[in-house]
Amino acid sequence: MSSPLGVVARVLGIGALVAGGLAVAAAALAAVILVGPFVFWLAWNVLDFGPAIGLPELGFWAIVLATLFLVVGWLGKMLITGIVFLVDPSWLDGTATVRWPEPTFRNFVAIALLAALASRPHARTHHGSMRPC
């Protein structure tokens, strides 16, 4: 014979609720992981922001690294920079003539997308940091 708590759990479908919640959480995590690089690719390669400022289009891993670089904090930025220096230091030897992009709506949208990616981790509010005078 089962316990009364087990009967109540079966009646309410707690297992189904937990499984559904885990599925939604996994889908949200996958979306977040995929949305960042997609937004960066859209701004850099599709809207041609890279060529507009004098830089080349980026491949898959460069987009992933650049997105991570924008999204993570200072320690993450140092870690990514250190990994690039250790794995392929010649990657940073290339020369580029970076210039200010033309003031077009396409470049404005690209800058807005990249700024949204870069500002996301810093959007947290710091409770208690403002003290009354």
pLDDT tens-digit readout, 26-37: 887 787 778 889
The mean per-residue pLDDT over the stretch 54-73 comes to 87
Residue pair 48/109 in contact (Cβ under 8 Å)? The answer is no
The pTM is what? 0.66
The mean per-residue pLDDT over the stretch 102-122 comes to 86
The confidence score (pLDDT) of residue 111 equals 92
